[in-house]
């Protein structure tokens, strides 16, 4: 679903003609609004009384939202001229962003519940290797979806050019591709929802999860290792998103790729270069995750955060160094590796630094604040882009600002301790006892 549908939301918004700002913000603003569903969702989870049923219900919502998204894409050529003629494209923007918000609510809203559930199912000693392998399979599936979307796009364009009846119709081949991709993504998520219902019920039910107040959470930003980690992760997400959302409009509107590899990619179809750039990120993730899992097992998650954190600043700038498509592909692979290492470190630290009975509350707050931080980062990037003018130079300013912010966040990482290495005995004893209880219950 993610590869064939979600990863193309930005391109879909661009093809609808909603502008570069909407293209950049479609991946951030709906996400923070969707993450907000998780806060009232904590009380709903307790009423449902089942982690699997709660998560599966949100997954069903996500699958359902892709149906009207497909309708907007398929019938776009019929309503777009009217909206543009009457200055009503803002209505379409609101509709797309509303659907995208519900879509991300379906994944982010139950995110804390899902993480709590799998944290109970999988013992601490297995998590690093298990989730590294799981992420590798997941990124491989996403990569497959990206490639499939590109193949579909080029195939539908060829059918359109060879079938006079279609060429003369009011339907558009590019938007028809989006419609087909959204429907396929919806079916995939429906299958996912059915499998989520098959999860075992947790030995620690939702009623045993403890609430954490906002004041206590803020206090931990300075006095608790879990809070210090969360503060670093939030600022890291903010710094990343200053530049990351604007790669799509830069590639689609400013990048003039050159080189032999670009000529070869263009021979595969007009959509192939863009799809290959997206796919390269996931190839980098797939290639790096086994090593990242072994690193986490050997040296811990904080080491992963340092490696990923040091790799990410230059990754914001390689777009400015060359226009050679082959080099850009290598840069995207390196970016994917850096993101995979950093993301796995963040993911595992959510388990290693947060008490098991507080995970649903703490991760719910973290998810919402993280999406808010990333959205704020994208808004800051949009403001920089708007203030810097237009063209290649404006994007260069955005990418430099993002790189500088990524470097500055490393100061916060110095405050994060390796869990179990230097933490106080009471703090680790409580967590270790809860983890051991989970392990004995499940096994």
Ordered DSSP codes for 229-285: HHHHHHHHHHHHHHHGGGHHHHHHHT---BSHHHHHHHHH-TTHHHHHHHHHHHHHH
Task: Write down the pLDDT at residue 367.
Answer: 83
Q: Alpha-carbon distance 22 to 152, whole Å?
A: 25
Task: Write down the pLDDT at residue 355.
Answer: 78
Q: Alpha-carbon distance 228 to 221, whole Å?
A: 5
The neighbouring-strand residues paired with 324 are 258
Task: Write down the pLDDT at residue 434.
Answer: 39
Q: Report whether 253 contacts 319 (CB < 8 A).
A: no
What SS3 class is residue 324?
A: strand
Q: Alpha-carbon distance 247 to 332, whole Å?
A: 11
3-state secondary structure 185-235: HHHHHHHHHHHHCCCCCCCCCHHHCCCCCHHHHHHHHHHCHHHHHHHHHHH
Task: Write down the pLDDT at residue 372.
Answer: 86
Residue 131 CB-density burial (10 A; 0-12 exposed, 13-18 middle, 19+ buried): buried
Task: Write down the pLDDT at residue 56.
Answer: 93
Task: Write down the pLDDT at residue 19.
Answer: 81
Q: Report whether 247 contacts 402 (CB < 8 A).
A: no
- 88 backbone dihedrals φ, ψ, rounded to 5°: -110, 20
CATH 3.40.190.80 fits 6-442, yes or no: no
Task: Write down the pLDDT at residue 428.
Answer: 38
**How far is the CA of 375 from the CAs of 125, 160, 295, 366, 368, in angstroms?**
34, 38, 31, 14, 10
What SS3 class is residue 435?
A: helix
Task: Write down the pLDDT at residue 274.
Answer: 80
Kind and range of the H or E run holding 74: helix 51-74
Full pLDDT tens readout for the chain, 443 residues: 998 999 889 889 988 888 877 887 787 788 888 888 887 777 788 888 888 999 999 999 999 999 999 999 999 888 888 888 888 888 999 999 999 999 999 988 888 888 888 888 887 778 888 888 888 888 889 888 988 988 898 888 888 888 887 777 788 888 999 999 999 999 999 999 999 988 888 777 777 777 776 677 777 777 778 888 889 999 999 999 898 888 878 887 777 888 888 888 887 777 778 878 888 888 898 888 888 888 888 888 888 999 999 999 999 888 888 888 888 999 999 999 999 999 988 888 888 777 777 778 888 888 888 888 888 888 898 888 888 877 888 889 999 999 999 999 999 999 888 765 433 333 333 334 334 333 322 22
Task: Report how many helices (DSSP H) and strands (DSSP E) the chain contains, helices first.
Answer: 21, 0
Task: Write down the pLDDT at residue 420.
Answer: 54
Q: Alpha-carbon distance 244 to 380, whole Å?
A: 12
Supply the DSSP string of 82-145, one letter for each residue: HHHHTT-HHHHHHHHHHHHHHHHHHHHTTHHHHHHHHHHHS-HHHHHHHHHHHHHHHHHHHHHH
How many Cα neighbours within 13 Å face the side chain of 70? Answer: 17
């Amino acid at each position: 679903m993610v590869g064939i549908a979600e990863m193309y939301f930005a391109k879909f918004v661009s093809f609808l003609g909603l502008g570069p700002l909407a293209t950049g913000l479609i991946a951030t603003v709906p996400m923070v609004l969707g993450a907000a569903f998780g806060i009232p969702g904590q009380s709903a989870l307790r009423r449902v009384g089942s982690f699997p049923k709660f998560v599966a219900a949100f997954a069903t919502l996500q699958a359902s939202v892709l149906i009207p998204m497909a309708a907007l894409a398929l019938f776009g050529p019929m309503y777009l001229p009217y909206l543009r003629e009457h200055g009503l494209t803002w209505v379409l923007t609101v509709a797309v962003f509303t659907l995208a918000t519900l879509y991300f609510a379906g994944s982010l809203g139950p995110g804390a519940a899902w993480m709590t559930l799998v944290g109970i199912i999988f013992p601490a000693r297995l998590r690093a290797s298990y989730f590294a392998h799981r992420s590798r399979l997941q990124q491989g599936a996403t990569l497959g979806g990206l490639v499939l979307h590109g193949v579909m796009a080029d195939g539908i364009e060829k059918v359109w050019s060879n079938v006079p009846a279609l060429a003369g119709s009011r339907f558009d081949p590019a938007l028809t591709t989006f419609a087909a991709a959204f429907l396929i993504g919806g079916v995939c998520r429906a299958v996912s929802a059915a499998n989520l219902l098959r999860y075992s019920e947790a030995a620690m039910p939702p009623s045993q999860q403890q609430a954490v107040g906002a004041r206590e959470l803020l206090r931990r930003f300075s006095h608790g290792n879990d809070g210090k980690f969360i503060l670093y992760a939030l600022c890291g997400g903010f710094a990343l998103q200053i530049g990351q959302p604007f790669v799509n409009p830069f590639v689609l509107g400013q990048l003039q790729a050159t080189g032999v590899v670009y000529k070869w990619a263009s021979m595969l179809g007009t959509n192939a270069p863009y799809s290959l750039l997206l796919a390269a990120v996931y190839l980098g993730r797939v290639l790096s995750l086994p090593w990242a899992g072994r690193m986490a097992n050997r040296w811990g998650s904080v080491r992963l955060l340092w490696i990923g954190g040091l790799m990410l600043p230059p990754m914001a700038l390689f777009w400015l160094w060359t226009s050679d498509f082959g080099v850009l592909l290598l840069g995207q692979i390196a970016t994917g590796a850096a993101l995979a290492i950093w993301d796995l470190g963040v993911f595992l630290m959510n388990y290693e630094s947060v008490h098991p009975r507080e995970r649903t509350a703490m991760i719910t707050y973290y998810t919402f604040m993280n999406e808010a931080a990333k959205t704020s980062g994208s808004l800051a990037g949009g403001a920089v882009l708007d203030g810097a003018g237009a063209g290649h130079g404006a994007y260069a300013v955005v990418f430099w600002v993002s790189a500088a912010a990524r470097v500055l966040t490393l100061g916060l990482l110095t405050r994060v301790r390796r869990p179990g290495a230097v933490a106080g005995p009471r703090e680790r004893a409580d967590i270790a006892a809860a983890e051991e209880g989970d392990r004995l219950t499940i096994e």
